[in-house]
Amino acid sequence: DGANFTATSVEAKPVKRSSGPPFTTSTLQQAASGQLGYSPNRTMQIAQKLYEGIEIDGETVGLITYMRTDGVQMAPEAIDGARRMIGSEFGERYVPEKPRYFTAKAKNAQEAHEAVRPTDFFRHPNEMRKFLDNDMARIYELIWKRAVASQMANAEMERTTVEISAANAQTQHGNGTETAQKVAGLRAVGTVVRFDGFLAAYMDHKEDEEEDEDAKRLPLINANEAQAKQAIAATQHSTEPPPRYSEASLIKRMEELGIGRPSTYAATLKTLSDREYVKLEKRKLFPDSKGRIVTAFLEGFFKRYVEYDYTAGLEERLDEVSDGKLDYKVVLRDFWKDFSAAINDIKELRITDVLNVLNEDLAPLAFPPRADGSNPRICPKCGTGNLSLKLGKFGAFVGCSNHPECSYTKQLGAENAAEGNGGAGLDEPKILGTDPFTGEEISLRTGRFGPYVQRGDGKEAKRGSLPKGWTVESIDHEKALALLSLPRDIGQHPESGKMISASIGRYGPYILHDGTYANIENVDEVFSIGLNRAVAVIADKIAKGPGRGRTGTPAALATLGNHPADDQPITVRDGKYGPYINHGKTNATLPKGKDPASVTMEEAIELIAAKAGKAPVKKAPAKAVAKKAPAKAAAVAKKPAVKKAAVKKVAPKA
């Protein structure tokens, strides 16, 4: 602490660093994830809006080029615009003598489109902010800076190594003795920027694990110059396993391996998340138990089709098809010959055969070692049954072979299991308190489908699953009461007078009003959302399009009445492809330009009849239908008889 620090030597080597190419789909997703924290799917949604355009001075203007691309080149006029912008914004020194051109390094790159760039480099991000929301402004700025930097001059640096001596002075003691001087050698490695070049516009983002000491900036240091101590930090490094993938690094790896196309990266990651194959924690991807099961199954029975080189090889063959070098029928025949053979082999297996393979592959996850050293496959409840993976309505779990006599079950991947209560993760139900209104006991349990809270006992007990993001450790009496109170009535809608309620469903938190479901982002808002906010959310949902029930059927815009033939209702609805008339299973599209609100009953009947291909007549008598039925039945009955006789004649020869 009391040492004097001196730079004993400074060794500097000049280096130049050139800019990277403009964004492709994958590099845009990586940069947005690392610098802005946006998921790939969100990044593409924002980029889509920038591509489709915004209104500027009464005119719709697209701000960026097509955002699904693996190309790194820019059009000549774009390069010229970028160079002119650089000269006016940064100065002529930042404009290189010649334009820069790049070549795609991604495997299987098609380069059918330009790189992702601004349509006009003179639309500066600062000027565009007044036309964009915050997310769009941040993505546009990222794209603009990267594209501009790609045409800027090199950064000039010095890679510098500084040797520093830390020396304590000799200490003279009162008894005439002295302590010898102590010297420690220190080294600092980094870079000194002499000319920032493209770094004035854009700095590449690196993952934490990619950080390099050489990339650290150092101030200008001269040899034999005294240095001032600011702080001393002692750190210890040990060998660690390879870091887990983040969304950005997984996309980068898929691109390196030639897996997928620019349009599939975001969709792939979203599918992994939506199906709960992985979970995202601290921006790192961790496999969930469901994902482990699917992976083990595919590697056990379809190994060829999940190997890295298979997808990349198939992509190359499809490229040859698109280039006219290979017949697509050959590709399909080769694929189907092997794939159908694999399916035929596997479909003969019983479920127990598949589970036996999964039991071996997933043994560390399903049957972790026990502290007492006992056999982890023996049921801890009955002591005689064998534990094995089992399939339930909501997925796989670990159960006892003595079921139903033994009720032991355990959630896959849980270290402890509740014996007899069909749960996992808790040795026994945790009592949180009682319901102040009913006096029933409220407990926290973990079943085969995850943790939940329960009020009372028996089959009629009220239960509520823990929503996504809530942990077992965070659940207390107050939160349990809130979960068990759902659905929660918010209040009556001021226009319809019907109740608005909030709850948590299969697809997350939502509010419901008169058949219209509107999702809300925050789970906690289910318990706190007020009437004004709820009315606004419902209105926003209706403005974006008709609400859809859980069946996916569009809500009715108007009910015209009942059809005179069968007394079934006729309604006007607004679907994906425009407004239409619905009558039972018949949907008749309205003529182009027809106002849905002006449709009359007579017009609707005519449209329905035209769709069905007949005139609008009354319902046919039941007798007419009954007369034709026997003839049809006889025809159907004769067919199997002929087929059966043919089989008998051939069978002896076989």
Is residue 370 within 8 A of residue 379, CB to CB? The reply is no
> Smallest Cα–Cα separation from 164: which of 246, 238, 224?
224
Residue 565 and residue 583: Cα distance in Å, rounded? 11
Is residue 413 within 8 A of residue 367, CB to CB? The reply is no
Residue 261 and residue 350: Cα distance in Å, rounded? 37
| 12 backbone dihedrals φ, ψ, rounded to 5° | -120, 130
Within 13 Å and on the Cβ side, how many CA atoms surround 196?
9
3-state DSSP assignment of residue 22:
coil
What letter does residue 443 receive in the DSSP assignment? E
The answer to whether residue 310 is catalytic is: no
Is residue 607 within 8 A of residue 588, CB to CB? The reply is yes
Strand order in the sheet with 225-227: 182-195, 155-168, 4-17, 225-227
Burial of 609 (0-12, 13-18, 19+ CB in 10 A): middle
Angle, to 10 degrees, between the axis of helix 134-149 and the axis of helix 76-89?
A: 100
Q: b/e per residue, 340-367, with b = 16+ CB within 10 A?
A: eeeeeeeeeeeeeebbebbbebbeebbb
Q: How many residues in total does the chain contain?
A: 654
Is residue 376 within 8 A of residue 395, CB to CB? The reply is no
Is residue 71 within 8 A of residue 24, CB to CB? The reply is yes
Residue 170 CB contacts under 8 Å (≥ 6 apart), including other chains? 178, 179, 180, 181
Residue 410 and residue 413: Cα distance in Å, rounded? 8
> Smallest Cα–Cα separation from 120: which of 147, 87, 102?
147
| Catalytic residue from among 38, 51, 66, 310 | 66
> Smallest Cα–Cα separation from 455: which of 477, 471, 434, 478?
434
Which amino acid, one-letter code, is at 335?
A: F
Strands 54-56 and 59-61, bridge-based pairing: antiparallel
Residue 631 and residue 626: Cα distance in Å, rounded? 10
Is residue 528 within 8 A of residue 490, CB to CB? The reply is no
Strands annotated E in 250-289:
278-281, 284-287
| 119 backbone dihedrals φ, ψ, rounded to 5° | -70, -25
Is residue 566 within 8 A of residue 605, CB to CB? The reply is no
- Ramachandran category for residue 320: left, alpha or beta (phi over 0 → left; psi -120 to 50 → alpha): alpha
> Smallest Cα–Cα separation from 224: which of 160, 159, 158, 165?
165
Strands annotated E in 372-478:
387-392, 395-400, 409-411, 417-418, 423-424, 430-434, 441-447, 450-455, 462-465
Residue where the block lists tokens 């002529």: 92
The residues carrying an active-site annotation are: 66
